Amino acid sequence: MNGAPPAVVVRDLVKRFGDFVAVDNISLEARPGEIFGFLGPNGAGKSTTIRMLCGLLLPTSGQALVAGLDVAREPERVRQNIGYMSQKFSLYNDLKVIENLRFFAGMYSVPAADLKERIDWAIDMAGLAGREQLLTGTLAAGWKQRLALGCAVLHRPPIVFLDEPTSGVDPISRRLFWELIHRMADDGVTVFVTTHYMDEAEYCNRLVLIDRGRIVASGSPLELKEKSMAGDLLLLECDQVGKALEELQGAPGVTDAAIFGNALHLVVASAQSAIPQVQEFLATRGITVSHIEKIRPSLEDVFVSLTSLNRDRDEGDKGEANRDQGDKRDKGGTKDKGDPTGTAVTDEKKGQP
């Protein structure tokens, strides 16, 4: 795969909704056969980016090439080369399993000669053999999601965009789903996926973390854990965990504090000096520390640390008001709701074929 042109190239991509900047000058590249994880908190701009990459939303500025095609100039051809699973389940609940497959096969112009083989493949992949005649709406979430993936890749696209494909699905179904994703990547398919599950982020070859429309970190899961934390991470066990959390937020030397199970994780500038400081700080507030040690950060730590650092940095400036405005605007239902194919054109694209 090395030397092959990138499957996705994004340069200085911007999306504004009025004054609100949802995607703020992002650049990235995904290589063929790569599982590319796109992470970020709610409202970070993940779905907006994906919709631009799928040719469903016009960028305000910048450029994106998908399968070598410019998404703004050739959105139709881009759509022929990709599979897209939108954040909302993209199936018709009131159609039978087999009817959904036939519908998507038609929409993606699967050649008649391949139709049976592709539909059989999708049924097998989704574990739905014998359930072809069931109403899709009656399927459990895990099955629905595998069916939605099957529908999105019926035409064998080289690049697949999956927007939170596993939200609301149980852990076993999630694992099965990721096995499918890995098999597709082994076959050379580029998988561009968003998730809020950090265990899933670990399955990706490369990650980009965005916050408030901006890229705040990128690299392999290992690189992110080793390089992206600003400071050291401490595991702290104590009585009154809730009170300790409250006290430690804003305590001297503590950059960040978050609950992890029955313990706290603290980001500090230096573990060596912070360990005695924190113990003393809590002792004077009547909290006894039973255990404190420096630990290696998990992806979740990196995620929490980088996104909250960003929040702190922006606090007080008009970025906050700006983003709130965007959140309110979104309540009008601007996402993929009611668009089972995920291909409805947005206001920007009205009038295009």
Ligand X SMILES: Nc1ncnc2c1ncn2[C@@H]1O[C@H](COP(=O)(O)OP(=O)(O)OP(=O)(O)O)[C@@H](O)[C@H]1O
Chain residues binding ligand X by CB under 6 A are 17, 20, 22, 40, 42-48, 87, 323, 326-327, 329-330, 334
**CB contact set of 52 (below 8 Å; sequence gap of 6+):** 13, 15, 23, 58, 59, 64, 71
Residue 165 interacting partner from Mg ion, ligand X, none (CB closer than 5 to 8 Å by kind): none
Interaction of residue 255 with Mg ion, rule CB under 5 A: no
Closer to ligand X by CB, 10 or 233: give it: 10
CA nearest 266: which of 238, 224, 226, 286? Answer: 238
**Pairing label, strands 35-39, 20-30:** unpaired
CA distance 309 to 235: 19
Cβ at position 244, least distance to ligand X in Å: 29
**Shortest reach from residue 42's CB to ligand X, in Å:** 3
Report the distance separating Cα 77 and Cα 286, nearest Å: 65
47 binds Mg ion, rule: CB under 5 A: yes
How much is the CA Rg of the chain, to the nearest whole Å? Answer: 22
Q: Say which entry of ligand X, Mg ion, none residue 90 contacts (CB below 5 to 8 A, set by partner kind).
A: none
State which H helix or E strand residue 58 sits in.
none
In this structure, how many other beta carbons lie within 10 angstroms of the beta carbon of residue 58?
A: 17
Of 43-51, 66-74, 263-271, 277-285: span binding Mg ion (CB under 5 A):
43-51
CA atoms lying within 13 Å on the CB side of residue 321: 4
Q: Do 31 and 4 meet the contact criterion of CB atoms below 8 Å apart?
A: yes
Binding mask of the shown chain, residues 68 to 107, with x at each position contacting Mg ion by CB under 5 A: -------------------x--------------------
Choose the contact partner of 17 out of ligand X, Mg ion, none; CB within 5 to 8 A by kind: ligand X
Nearest approach, Cβ of 50 to Mg ion (angstroms)?
8
Q: Which is nearer to ligand X, 56 or 251 (CB)?
A: 56
Which residues contact Mg ion (rule: CB under 5 A)?
46-47, 87
